[in-house]
Amino acid sequence: MRRTFLVGALAAIVTAASACSVSTGPGGSGSDDGDKGGQVVIGFSQVTQQSPFYVQLKNGAQQAADKAGAKLLFADANGDVTKQNNDIQDLITRGVDVLLVNPVDPKGVAAGLAAAKAAKIPVVTVDRPVPTGAQTHVGRDNVTMGRLVGERVAKALGPGGGKVIEIQGDAGGAVARDRGNGFQQGVAANSKIRIVKGPYSDYLRAKAVGAMQDLLQANPDVKAVYAHNDDMAVGALQVLRENRRTDVKVAGVDGLMEAVKAIPAGQYVATALNDPIGMGGLAAQTAIKVRNGEKVPSYVDAGTGLVDPSNAARYAGDTVFARAS
């Protein structure tokens, strides 16, 4: 009997010790008593995977997480803000330590961010900022990108200016707003440039193709097309070439390699660097710092630059997007 009692008591002690070493809170390995040890688990809620930019953004985050020995749990909202809020809640339930969020709708994702706050899980936004609810944002200055491209388009058009069709990204999005405002700043010095706003095409080539077909019929006197990303701009370029309108200049943003390689031919005049691999990697690194309690600025700038005929050859390569460094 004495031996049986000792064995049972020992088993109870081992069980209690094991229970003390496991975090059962919603914040995963980093949620109990400020524990910063163990593998960092990052939950990444992505706006969509229907654009090459977002695919590469995810790949950059995954590469950086792997290099740091962190685990990345990924969820694709597929452009649906309700799904994104549900995805965030699921990631919380799965025990992530920190959330990386690229919002479908900066305001619509508030419910998910509130759930993260209640679970004491810090949030880092990437690419698209939110009004409140994130500890820091990793992105690029979209006003600067739009302005750089606008200045180059104005140069290509010359003093005569002309009509410029602007194919927009997403309605209500900060990125689309800033790229539009920046472009207007870039062409403002030439009063003969007139911008015609096209429809929101959600940064997707297929939608931009349909939009450009209608826009070209309605605006036969167009001199240039500016799209809020290169994927849409390349779609517009396709329509222009099909209609033998090689006289119309085209420009975009993001540094899509397909666009960069089109620049030397002359019709595609400019893009701005927005390397998603680099930004995704920086976002994952920032998320790990936040989880570990390190101080980070409220905005982490991934940097940009203009690609035009003067330097396109230098950026050409076999990557999906031109690398910023």
One fold for 38-139+276-294 and 142-273+307-315:
yes
Whether the predicted pLDDT of 49 surpasses 80: yes
pLDDT, average across residues 241-268: 98
> Which sequence spans correspond to the domains of the chain?
38-139+276-294, 142-273+307-315
Q: What is the pLDDT of residue 4?
A: 40
DSSP string for residues in 104-161: SSTTTTHHHHHHHHHTT--EEEESS--SSS-SEEEE--HHHHHHHHHHHHHHHH-TT-
Answer yes or no: is pLDDT of 23 > 90. Answer: no
Tokens in use for 61? 């985050």
The DSSP letter of residue 198 is E
Tokens representing residue 188 in the block: 């403002």
Q: How confident is the model at residue 51 (pLDDT cuts 50, 70, 90)?
A: confident
Does pLDDT of 25 surpass 60?
no
Residue 220: what are its φ and ψ, rounded to 5°? -65, -15
Could you tell me if residue 34 is left (phi over 0), alpha (psi between -120 and 50 degrees) or otherwise beta?
left
Contact in structure between 145 and 153 (CB atoms under 8 Å): no
| Per-residue confidence band for 220, with pLDDT thresholds at 50, 70 and 90 | very high
Mean pLDDT, residues 99-120 taken together: 97
Give per-residue pLDDT as tens, 137-159. Answer: 999 999 999 999 999 999 999 99
Query: What's the pLDDT score for residue 172?
Result: 84
Using a pLDDT cut of 90, give the percent of the chain over it. Answer: 85
Residue 24 has pLDDT above 80, yes or no: no
The CATH superfamily of 38-139+276-294 is Response regulator (3.40.50.2300)
pLDDT > 70 fraction of the chain, expressed in percent and rounded = 88
Q: Tell which CATH classification among 3.40.50.2300, 1.10.760.10, 1.20.1530.20, 3.40.640.10 matches the domain 142-273+307-315.
A: 3.40.50.2300
Pairing of strands 268-272, 306-307: antiparallel
Please report which confidence band the pLDDT of residue 173 belongs to, taking 50, 70 and 90 as the band edges.
confident
What pLDDT score does 37 carry?
A: 58
The helix/strand/coil state of 306 is strand
pTM: 0.81
pLDDT of 9 above 50: no
What does the alpha-carbon distance between residue 28 and residue 31 come to, in Å, rounded to a whole number? Answer: 6
- Res. 15: pLDDT tops 80: no
Flag whether pLDDT at 11 surpasses 80: no
Is the model's pLDDT at 19 over the cut of 70?
A: no
pLDDT at 116 (0 to 100): 98
Residues 6+ apart with CB under 8 A from 229: 51, 53, 169, 203, 252, 253, 254, 256
CB atoms under 10 Å from CB of 265, counted, come to 10
- Provide φ and ψ at 76, rounded to 5°: -100, 115
The mean pLDDT of 171-177, rounded to a whole number, is 90
Q: How far apart are CA 279 and CA 277, in angstroms?
A: 6
